[in-house]
Structures are given as C-alpha cells and as structure tokens.
Amino acid sequence: MSDNLLLAVVMSVVGTAVGMVINRFLKERKNYFDDFDKLLCYYGANLAYSRNTVPEFLKTFETQSHLLKKQIESIVKSLSGKSDFPSGFLSKKECAYAKEVFTSIGTHSLIAEKAFIEDSRSKLKSFRDIADSRYTKLGSSSIKLGFLFGLMLAVIFW
C-alpha cells in the first residue's frame, strides 16, 4: 500500500516535471518570437530617429530570451570575424529566417532598410502566431496535464 502511494507520488511529480519542461519550452519559444518582433520594431524606430549603427543598436537591446541574446552576441561577434549562429530550439525554417534577418540587417540604404524591416516583421508574424497559439493552448495546461497523466499512470499501476 505504502509502495503504491509512493509510486503515485513519484508518477505525479514526474508528470508535473514533464509538463513544466513543455511549458517552459513553449514559453521560451513565445518569448523568442515576441522579443524578435520587439527587436525589429525598435530597430525600425532607430532607423527613423537616432540611426545608431547596428552594433550600437544591438548592444543596447535587452531581451528575456536566452536564444535571442546568444544570437545577438554571435552577430555582434561576427562583425569582427566569423562566428556560429546558434539555432537552439528553432526549426530549420525558423532558423533560416532568423539567420537571413541578422545577416542582412544594416546592409541596405535607408529606404530599402525600412522596407526590409517591414517585410521581416510580416514574415515573422506567422512564426509568432504559431508560437503564441501553442503556448496559449498547451503552455498553461501542460503542467496540469502532466500532473494528471502521472496520476493516471499511478492509478493504472496501482
């Protein structure tokens, strides 16, 4: 009886932990695309007003996303040499998009650069919407589902 109770607790804890990992993953993806959009938005404002250079702009941009932070660091580093572009949890398509944006940023005249940012934001929207809806649908419920799934397994194995 006590063994079964222990198993039930362990299963529930493991299930909850799995749910938390999924939640964190989806949240990280959502934060990444949200902050990517924020970056493009701020960069557009930079083009309109202060016109700081790309390195100056990137150095002052603050993000909650660890992956975006790493990618920005890699781009700043690549300005004075080569560096690998971290792809993290991004799919091949998402990574290609991010890489394209970061390698093309700053290489156009002012008018073309503004158009490029607009275009990049509209392309980002589809990735952002997917990440957003997945987090809304699964993110908040993944912890509860994980807990219930663990509990269900415990009941089955009781």
Partner 1 sequence: MFDFDRIKDILPTAVYDALSTNLNVDKLQEIRLRANSPVKLQYGNKRVYLTENGIGSDLSKAITVSVDDIRNTIVSASERSIYAYNDEIIKGYLSPGDGVRIGVCGEVVGDHGLPIALKNYSSVNIRIPHEIVGCSDGIMRDIVSNFCRAMIISPPGAGKTTMLRDIARNLSDSSNPLNVLIVDERNEIACMKGGAPQMNVGKHTDVISCSSKSYAFECAVRSMRPDVIITDEIFGEQDVEIIREAVGCGVGVIASAHAIDVESFTKRPFAKLLMDNRIFERYYFLSDRFGSGHVSTVCDHSLRQINVG
Stretch that binds partner 1, among 2-10, 19-27, 100-108, 145-153 (CB under 8 A): 100-108
Is residue 55 a contact point for partner 1 (CB under 8 A)? yes
**Residue selected from 32, 67, 113, 131 as contacting partner 1 according to rule CB under 8 A:** 113
Q: Is 41 a binder of partner 1 (CB under 8 A)? A: no
107 binds partner 1 (CB under 8 A): yes
Candidate list 24, 51, 125, 137; residue touching partner 1; CB under 8 A: 51
- The set of long-range contacts for 99-102, using a CB threshold of 8 Å and a minimum separation of 24, is 101/40, 102/71, 102/75
Give the contacts of 65 (CB within 8 A, at least 6 positions apart): 28, 31, 32, 35, 36
- Least Cα distance to 131 among 29, 22, 57, 2 occurs for 29
131 binds partner 1 (CB under 8 A): no
Q: For helices 140-157 and 2-48, what crossing angle results, to 10°?
A: 160
Q: Which is nearer to partner 1, 96 or 112 (CB)?
A: 112
**Segment near partner 1 (CB under 8 A); pick from 1-9, 16-24, 78-86, 131-139:** 78-86
